[in-house]
Structure formats: C-alpha cells, structure tokens
Structure 1
C-alpha cells in the first residue's frame, strides 16, 4: 500500500519506518527543521533503540522516501508540493499545528485519499473536526484517530510490539483498512481497542493523567516515609503486591518530564478548566511534580546547611528518561536552575542528551558537559543521580570515591542500596529511603 506521512515528530518517524518495514511504500514529507536537516546529512535525530538502523535500512531499500529536499510542503499558492495523495495519508504533526492538519486533510480529500489517519497530539475532538471539514467540502475520505501512545526510550518497540492499540473509528471500511495496516503488530493477541474518535483521544490523555497521579502520589508518600522513618521502597513493594493496584508507576523519584507525558497532563487539565469541570486533582499532581524536581537540591542544601555557593555538583543523567536524548520538561532542567541560582558549579554527564541540554542552556547559564561520568564527578561536592541509565547502576565505587572531593550521593531514582553505598564510605540520600 502507498502511504503519505506528514510531520517530523517521533511518532511520524516510528510509524513511517515501521510501515515501510512491513512492505508499504511510504513517502515521508518533512517540514524544514532539525529533523529534516539531519536526514539530509544521513543522520537520525531521535536517539531511540533500533530506530536509526530501521530508518536507514528502509531508505536504502527504497520503501521509505524522505522528502527533505523541498523548501516547504506547499507552493506559493498554499497547495502541497506533491500533486496527488497516496491512498492512505497520516498526520503526525507537532502540537499547535492544527491549521496545517486542516489544510492537508482538505488536500487529501480533494485528491481522493481512501483514509486519513490522525496521529497528532491535538485537543480532544480534533479528529471529528477534521472529518466535519471534509464532509462540508463534499469529500468522502474517512478520518480515524490512532493516538500516539509511544513510550520514549522504547518508542519503536512500543509501536511494533504494543500492549494495547487505541483506534478511534466510526467507519467500517476504515476499520478494515486500519486492521490490515496494523496486522503485523497485532498478531499474538488482538490488542486493538476500537472506539469513537473522541473516546480514543480522551482515553490517551486520561491514561497519562492516571500514570502521573500514581507517580505524584508515591512522591507524596515518600515525603511522609522520611518523616516516619520507613523505607518507601518497601512500601512500594507492599502497595504494588495488591492486585487492585499493581506495580507499574509506583516508583518515587525526582519528578517526571518529557514532551508527551507532561503535555498530555497539562492538556487534560486545560480541557477540564475549559469545560468548567474541577481540575483540582490534576493541578495538585502537576504542583507535586514541580516541587519534586527540586527535591535533590533541597537535600543538598540541608546537607551543607545552606553553604553551597561555589561548590561543585555533578549530575548523572539529564534526559527525562533512560533511552531518550530529550530533556523537555525533565527534572534536570529545574534542578540545574536551582543550582545556578545559588552559585553552584554544575557538571553533567548523560549518554545521549548532552547536545539537547547544551541547546537548552545556551544564554541561560554555564554548564560543563562531560563524555565520561567519572571525569564529570571529579572534585565534586555531591553527585546527583537524575536519570537511571543502566550505565549508572553499578559504578566503580572506589574510583568514584577517589574522584570526588566529598563522597556524597543524592539518588533521585532510588537505584542504589543505601546500606551498601554507605559501607563504601559515601553519605547517601535517596527519595523516602532510610
């Protein structure tokens, strides 16, 4: 099947490459920008396991045609540069680009596309709005919603081996086509849940809201655990053993971030406000999360009794989660700003996210970035573990202690055994740990 993909999001890249791998012929139309420039240079900007190899391989095989040579997607008259749409058109655009989505939907409808797939992160009701616009123009193209449920850090695996797939669809023929497109990823058991488009869009943001609530709840419990002298990790295991609750997203830490997760919760909160439904719970979730992003700084401040000016601090990890090079809304950013405000010399190591972090820090403050984690820790008065990359789980404690000026560990993800680290000669602080 021939497919046109529009957008430069991670969702667009994963979907285009995966469909191409399944034998479809995909034209991927990118707007000018960093993603397009990287592809022109033979690089893949999104650092996701297996994704660069897949994109490169499908381009080499000729099934993925990346149209990055256009100055834009439209000619001076506003019409798309490609004259005729493929039978299937996918939109995985950036948030806030709904006008572009309407323009492309109209073009797909005029061109006789048999299906329009909306994967963009737009407000609830956007797919219905696209469908309404097409019907008003007399176009018969059905519009379905395939919400972006990718987990950054494992984006390709979460698309090709999904635990669940949401499909917003109210057209039988469109559902048949979608089931065929998704068949390679829906073989072990039927994980496709079909519902109305508005229901699919709402389900996606409601999932994010629920997961964020669990995380913030456990962070609140971690504060109480410290006051009661109990270990939140023991509490987590006890709570997770209850089958009504389960184990996922119960880890206390230094806050969540990411371009998708945080945005979903904020969009859900805004929707509740606009509909004049109380959003107090989710507002509290977001407030707790913002507070939690500074928890390591507060522990550092208390340890040194406020005498932190000109001290040197090392952060291990800047990406909002392991496996990603993204720092968007991540706890490292808020933490670095708090350290800067107190005159702290900040050094950072991260396996993937240093270029993104450098771009964020430009014109904000001074960061020293390191390619080696032990070089980053040299002469430091504290080491703050922010992102739980696997490379950080088993450090050489002797080398680390010898490198640091003061052997102080602030574990923002509770990945270390407090008793063991203490026996290695370090002072240890976790989140809700004894």
Structure 2
C-alpha cells in the first residue's frame, strides 16, 4: 500500500519506519523545522532505541523516502497518516487544506495525533467542502487512530500494540486500516472500532486514568511513611488484586515528559469548555507538580533547612529511562529548587546531558559529568531521579568511598533499604526507607 506520513517526529518516524518494514511504500514529510537531507542520512530528532537502524534499513531497501514536497506526498498516498505532536495542530490544518485543494480522487486520512475532540469530523467536513467547491466527486473518510507509543519503547509499542483504536463508521475505511495494521495485529485481534469522537476521547481518557493512578499511589506512599509502613508491601498487595494490577503502580518523584501532562491538561481545558470543572484532574496535575520536589523537600528537612554550599549528586535527568528528553522532567524542577537554595549540583545521565545542557544554558551551579561515579565525588547527598538500569546495581563500596556523606534520596525506589543500611548509607525513598 502507498502511505504518506505527514510528520517526522517520534510518532511519525516510528509509523513510517514500521509500515515500510512490513512492505508498504512510505513517503514521509516533515512538518516543522526538520530538514529532509538530515532525515535521508538517518539524522533523527529523537534518540529512540532502534529507530535509527529501522529508518536506515528502510531507506536502503527503498520502501521509505523523505520529501518536503506536499504535492508529491498527496499524489503518492492511498492513505494519509497525520502523525504530529499535539502542538502542531495548526500545521495539520494546513495539510488538510492542501489535501482538499490537490487530491484527485478518494481520500482516506488517518489521524494519529492527539488533537481536540471532534477534530476528525471537522477535518472530514473541511475536505468534503473543498471537493464540493472544486466540483470533485470522491469519497472522503477521516479515521481517528490515536497512537499509544511511549518514548524508550516506541517501536515495540507500535509493532506489538495492546490495542488498535479505529474511530470511524466507514466500513471500507475500517477494512483498509485493518489490512494496513494486520502485521501488527496477527496474534490476537486487538482492533477496537468505535466512533471518531470516542476514539479521540479514549486517548485522553487513558492518559487521565494513568496520571490519576500515579498521583494516587504517590499520595499513598507519602503518607505511608508517617505510619511506619513500607509502601512496597502495600504495592504488592494492591497489584495482586486482579481489578488493579501492577502497571503504573510505582511511587516516585512524579511523572514528566512533553506529552503526558499536556494531554491531561488539554482534557481539562476541553471539559471546562463544556462547563465542567474537572476538579479531580486538576488536582492530579497539581499533586504531580508538588511530587516533583519530593526529594528536595526531604533534603531540605534532612539538612535542617539550609542547603547553602552543599554539593548534591544527581543520577538521572531524562523524564524516563531510554530517552534523552528532559521536557517537564522531575529533574528540572528538583535542580532548580536546589540551586535556588544555594546548593551546587553535579549530574549524570546516560543520554540526556546534552538536552539538559541546552535547557539550562549558561547558568551556573550545575556541572554535567560523563560518568555516574564522577557525580559522587565529595557530594553531601545523591538523588536518584530516573531509574536507568545501570543505576540499579552500583558498586556500593565505591559509592561510599567517593561521597562526602553517604546519604541517598531514592526518588524511584530502586534500592532495598536494608541493603543500603548494610553498606553504611542513610537511605530515603518515596514511601520507603527512613522518615524525615
């Protein structure tokens, strides 16, 4: 099948590469500031595991190409995929306008982007109006197929989906999309068909529910400490309930990333536009912002409300493992709070040092290092903010010898408290370890 993908950021590249890998002829067009020549050379905007190999292999095989010619993209596609970040809605409008002006026959647009509820219906009406004004008689269908990929596991999320949501009442369009997604849906049928608006709402609802779950677990963990309760024991009890399960049940220093909180905030705005206050979701977002500073507050209490002149080591800057993204990450808020109180920060992340440097700029008080143990030299405390696998089994003796004070604030609960104590550390987790 000939597929045109509009958008070459994470979702668009994963979609384009994966569809090309299963035998389709894919033409991908960047919507934004990305350069086609860079993409053709495999220079990608995101450091996503396996993505550069996937793109380069499909370019070599000739099933994937990049272009900045929208007219060529419209001529190429039997299916048009809109795979853009939510903040590029204005660019998506331009794409729809061009399809309405230039398409010469039946049109199938698939919107993967998280745009406001009702967008698919509005896009379909816009193209139909443009066709009518041109006197073109052709079928137009806009399907909502929200993406559920996460940074760090995006290729696997697309190629082995837990569900494929198709929002459409057009049986022909549904049949085409079932066939296009068949290679990723062959073990069990994961396709869920519903209305376009229900599909759009589902994406928002999923993120809202997961965000609520995380914030509730964090609130339970924060309070468990004061009752001398180990939250890990509670987590095991909660997760063993088949109605709850273990996913998104780990307490920590809050969730981040460029899309998760933004999608929940967008849902709040949508509900408010209809006269509903969305108090629960607003509380979830507020609780998460407070939770991002949970380690700072622990350090503030431990060091008797005075962090001036202290040296704090940081392990983990990205908002989650296997990504270089620091957008909205707990590390940003934590480090800003530490520096504001006069602390010096030495930080290490396997991938995100350049991203954090670009964010922090020329401001002082933060040193980025290229080795995790270098971030421990003569520090007064270590904070774990991202649960990278390399942090899970460190050389405890080396840590102890390097640190000025053996104090660890574990924002992802990756260490067992008893083990840390045996190695001579003061260990403070989230709902675990010592209480301050």
Give the structure-2-normalised TM-score.
0.94
Q: How is 1:213-252 mapped onto 2 (pairs within 5 angstroms)?
A: 213-252=212-251
Q: How is 1:150-299 mapped onto 2 (pairs within 5 angstroms)?
A: 150-299=149-298
CA distance change for structure 1 residues 187 and 430 in 2, over 3 Å: closer, same or farther? same
Does 1:115 pair with 2:108?
Answer: yes
The match for 1:411 is 410
The match for 2:395 is 396
Structure 1 position 140, deviation (Å): 2.3
Does 1:89 pair with 2:80?
Answer: yes
CA distance change for structure 1 residues 104 and 184 in 2, over 3 Å: closer, same or farther? same
Structure 1 position 222, deviation (Å): 1.0
The match for 1:315 is 314
What are the Cα deviations for residues 171-192 of structure 1, in whole angstroms up to 9, with x where unaligned? 1110011001100000000001
What are the Cα deviations for residues 395-432 of structure 1, in whole angstroms up to 9, with x where unaligned? 00011111111111100011100011011011100001
- Provide the rounded CA distance (Å) in 2 between the counterparts of 1:22 and 1:283: 42
Structure 1 position 62, deviation (Å): 1.1
Structure 1 position 221, deviation (Å): 0.6
Q: How is 1:96-135 mapped onto 2 (pairs within 5 angstroms)?
A: 96-109=87-100, 110-111=102-103, 112-135=105-128
The match for 1:77 is none
CA distance change for structure 1 residues 100 and 14 in 2, over 3 Å: closer, same or farther? same
CA contact under 8 A between 1:85 and 1:108: conserved in structure 2?
no
- Provide the rounded CA distance (Å) in 2 between the counterparts of 1:35 and 1:343: 41
Which region of structure 1 is more displaced relative to structure 2, 97-106 or 282-291? 97-106
The match for 2:22 is 22
CA distance change for structure 1 residues 54 and 113 in 2, over 3 Å: closer, same or farther? farther
Which region of structure 1 is more displaced relative to structure 2, 320-329 or 38-47? 38-47
Which region of structure 1 is more displaced relative to structure 2, 3-12 or 32-41? 32-41
Does 1:335 pair with 2:326?
Answer: no
- Unmatched tracts of structure 1, length 5 or more: 75-79
CA distance change for structure 1 residues 350 and 384 in 2, over 3 Å: closer, same or farther? same
What are the Cα deviations for residues 352-378 of structure 1, in whole angstroms up to 9, with x where unaligned? 111111111115554211111001111
Structure 1 position 96, deviation (Å): 3.2
Structure 1 position 234, deviation (Å): 0.6
CA contact under 8 A between 1:147 and 1:204: conserved in structure 2?
yes
Aligned to 2:197, the other structure's residue is in SS state: helix
Query: How much is the aligned-residue C-alpha RMSD, in angstroms?
Result: 1.7
Give the structure-1-normalised TM-score.
0.94
- Provide the rounded CA distance (Å) in 2 between the counterparts of 1:370 and 1:133: 52
- Provide the rounded CA distance (Å) in 2 between the counterparts of 1:391 and 1:96: 34
Which region of structure 1 is more displaced relative to structure 2, 29-38 or 235-244? 29-38
What are the Cα deviations for residues 264-321 of structure 1, in whole angstroms up to 9, with x where unaligned? 1111111111111121101110111001000000111111112211211111111111
- Provide the rounded CA distance (Å) in 2 between the counterparts of 1:172 and 1:160: 24
CA distance change for structure 1 residues 204 and 405 in 2, over 3 Å: closer, same or farther? same
CA distance change for structure 1 residues 290 and 244 in 2, over 3 Å: closer, same or farther? same
CA distance change for structure 1 residues 416 and 225 in 2, over 3 Å: closer, same or farther? same
What are the Cα deviations for residues 127-173 of structure 1, in whole angstroms up to 9, with x where unaligned? 11101111222352211111021022100000001111111111111
- Provide the rounded CA distance (Å) in 1 between the counterparts of 2:338 and 2:159: 41
CA contact under 8 A between 2:27 and 2:76: conserved in structure 1?
no
- Provide the rounded CA distance (Å) in 2 between the counterparts of 1:385 and 1:324: 16
